[in-house]
Amino acid sequence: MREKFNVVKLDTTNTSLVFAVNDGNLGIAHYGKKITDLPQSDSLDMFLLNGQWGASVDRFNITKMSYSFVGDGNMRESLVSVINSDGTYTSRFVYKKHSLVNGGIPLDDLPCARNAEKTLIVELADDYANLTLKQYYTVFKDSDIIAVRQELTNNGKGNVTVLRLMSLQLDVSGTSYNCVSFNGAWARERYRKDTAVTAGTWMIQSMGGQSSAIMNPFFMAKNPDGNGVYAFNLIYSGNHKEIVEACNDINSTRFLVGINDYCFNLTLKAGETFATPQAVMLFADSEQSVTSEMHNFVNNHIVDPKFAYKDRPLLLNNWEGTHFSFTEEKLLELADKAAELGVELFVLDDGWFGHRDNDASSLGDWYDYKEKLNGSLGKLADKIRAKGLHFGIWVEPEMISEDSDLFRNHPEYAMIVPGREPIRRRNQLVLDLVNKDVQDYLIKEIGDVIERCKAYYVKWDCNRHISDIYSATFENTGEYFHRYVLGLYRVISALKKRFPDVLFESCSAGGNRFDLGMLYYMPQTWCSDMTEPRHRLSIQEGTLYAYPQSAIGAHVSACQNSSFESKFNVACLGAFGYELDATKCTQEELEIIKKQIVFYKQHRHLLQFGKYYRLKSIFGRERKSSWIIISEDKSEAIAFLAETDELINSVPSEWRFTGLDDNALYSFEVRPQNNFKSDVIASGTAGGDALNNCEFSFGKLFSDETDRQPYGTPLATRLIYFKRID
Ligand code: GLA
Best of 186, 350, 513, 552 for a ligand 1 pocket test (most atoms within 8 Å of beta carbon): 350
Tell me the CA–centroid distance for residue 349 and ligand 1, in Å.
Answer: 8
Ligand 1 atom closest to 529 (CA): 8
Nearest CA to ligand 1 atom 7: 509
Assess contact for 126 and 81: CB atoms under 8 A. no
Ligand 1 atom closest to 349 (CA): 10
Residues 6+ apart with CB under 8 A from 587: none
Closest CA to 275 of 135, 471, 160: 135
DSSP output for 154-182: E-SSS-EEEEEEEEEEEEEE-S-EEEEEE
Nearest CA to ligand 1 atom 4: 319
Paired sense of beta strands 25-33 and 15-22, if any: antiparallel
Mean pLDDT of 641-655: 75
Best of 319, 362, 514 for a ligand 1 pocket test (most atoms within 8 Å of beta carbon): 319
Check whether 401 has a pLDDT greater than 70: yes
Nearest CA to ligand 1 atom 1: 509
Tell me the CA–centroid distance for residue 555 and ligand 1, in Å.
Answer: 13
Ligand 1 atom closest to 579 (CA): 9
pLDDT tens, position by position, 171-192 = 999 999 999 999 999 999 999 9
Best of 359, 396, 428, 507 for a ligand 1 pocket test (most atoms within 8 Å of beta carbon): 507
CATH superfamily for domain 613-724 = Golgi alpha-mannosidase II (2.60.40.1180)
pLDDT at residue number 710: 53
Residues 6+ apart with CB under 8 A from 37: none
Closest CA to 629 of 651, 654, 603: 603
What percentage of the chain exceeds 70 in pLDDT? 92
- The span from the CA of 345 to the CA of 322, in Å, is 17
Mean pLDDT of 382-409: 98
Tell me the CA–centroid distance for residue 461 and ligand 1, in Å.
Answer: 7
Write down the pTM of the prediction. 0.97
Tell me the CA–centroid distance for residue 528 and ligand 1, in Å.
Answer: 9
Tell me the CA–centroid distance for residue 510 and ligand 1, in Å.
Answer: 7
pLDDT at residue number 375: 98
- The span from the CA of 136 to the CA of 275, in Å, is 10
Tell me the CA–centroid distance for residue 509 and ligand 1, in Å.
Answer: 6
Residues 6+ apart with CB under 8 A from 256: 77, 79, 166, 168, 169, 241, 242, 243, 245
> Which of the four pLDDT bands, split at 50, 70 and 90, describes residue 227?
confident
DSSP output for 189-231: --EEEEEEE-SEEEEEE--SSSS-SSEEEEEEEE-TTS--EEE
- The span from the CA of 219 to the CA of 180, in Å, is 6
Tell me the CA–centroid distance for residue 529 and ligand 1, in Å.
Answer: 7
- The span from the CA of 442 to the CA of 335, in Å, is 29
Ligand 1 atom closest to 508 (CA): 8
- The span from the CA of 67 to the CA of 161, in Å, is 18
Kindly list the distances between the CA atom of residue 590 and the CA atoms of 175, 338, 382, 585, 596, in Å, as whole numbers in the listed order. 56, 10, 25, 6, 10
Pocket of ligand 1 (CB under 6 A): 319, 349-350, 394, 461, 463, 507, 509-510, 526, 529
Kindly list the distances between the CA atom of residue 439 and the CA atoms of 96, 428, 446, in Å, as whole numbers in the listed order. 40, 18, 11
List, by residue number, the catalytic residues: 461, 529
The CATH architecture that domain 314-395+555-566+577-609 belongs to is: Alpha-Beta Barrel (3.20)
Assess contact for 231 and 182: CB atoms under 8 A. no
Two domains, one topology: 2-302 and 314-395+555-566+577-609: no
pLDDT at residue number 705: 65
Please state the length of the chain: 726
> Which of the four pLDDT bands, split at 50, 70 and 90, describes residue 250?
confident
Ligand 1 atom closest to 359 (CA): 12
CATH number of 2-302: 2.70.98.60
> Which of the four pLDDT bands, split at 50, 70 and 90, describes residue 665?
very high
> Which of the four pLDDT bands, split at 50, 70 and 90, describes residue 52?
very low
Residues forming a β-bridge with 30: 18
Check whether 316 has a pLDDT greater than 80: yes
Mean pLDDT of 652-660: 91
Domain ranges of the chain: 2-302, 314-395+555-566+577-609, 613-724
With 0-12 / 13-18 / 19 or more C-beta atoms within 10 angstroms meaning exposed / middle / buried, residue 56 is: middle
Kindly list the distances between the CA atom of residue 539 and the CA atoms of 130, 192, 214, 625, 658, in Å, as whole numbers in the listed order. 48, 9, 12, 12, 22
- The span from the CA of 165 to the CA of 154, in Å, is 13
Give backbone dihedrals phi and psi of 9, rounded to 5 degrees, phi first: -120, 130
**436-453 vs 377-385: helix crossing angle, rounded to 10:** 40
Residue type at position 349: D
> Which of the four pLDDT bands, split at 50, 70 and 90, describes residue 48?
low
Best of 353, 399, 457, 461 for a ligand 1 pocket test (most atoms within 8 Å of beta carbon): 461
pLDDT at residue number 649: 63
- The span from the CA of 316 to the CA of 579, in Å, is 6
pLDDT tens, position by position, 122-170 = 999 999 999 999 999 999 999 999 999 999 999 999 999 999 999 999 9
Assess contact for 217 and 224: CB atoms under 8 A. no
Lowest-confidence pick of 362-366, 440-444, 472-476: 472-476
Assess contact for 326 and 372: CB atoms under 8 A. yes
